[in-house]
Amino acid sequence: MNEGKDKDKIVPSTPNSLDMRKRGLVRRGLQDLSRSEPRRKRILISHEEAVNEVLEGELRSAGYETKVASHSSQVLELVEAFWPDVVLIQLIAEVDALKLSEQLARGFPRVKIVILGRIVGAELKVKQYLQKKGITCSFLELPFDRKEQLLDVLESQFG
Say if CB 85 and CB 41 are below 8 A apart.
yes
Instruction: Note the pTM of the prediction, 2 decimals.
Output: 0.70
One-letter identity of residue 67: K
Structure confidence at residue 92 (pLDDT): 64
Q: Is residue 18 very low, low, confident or very high in pLDDT (cuts 50, 70, 90)?
A: low
pLDDT at 22 over 60: no
- pLDDT mean over 127-131: 82
Residue-range domains of the chain with CATH:
2-35 (no CATH), 42-158 (3.40.50.2300)
Nearest of 27, 55, 60 to residue 42 by alpha carbon: 60
Residue 85 has a CB neighbour count (10 Å cut-off) of 18
- pLDDT mean over 106-122: 83
Q: Is residue 145 very low, low, confident or very high in pLDDT (cuts 50, 70, 90)?
A: confident
pLDDT at 146 over 70: yes
For 140, the 3-state DSSP assignment is strand
35-74 pLDDT, tens digit per residue, is 556 778 999 999 888 889 999 999 999 999 999 998 888 8
65-90 pLDDT, tens digit per residue, is 999 998 888 899 999 999 999 999 88
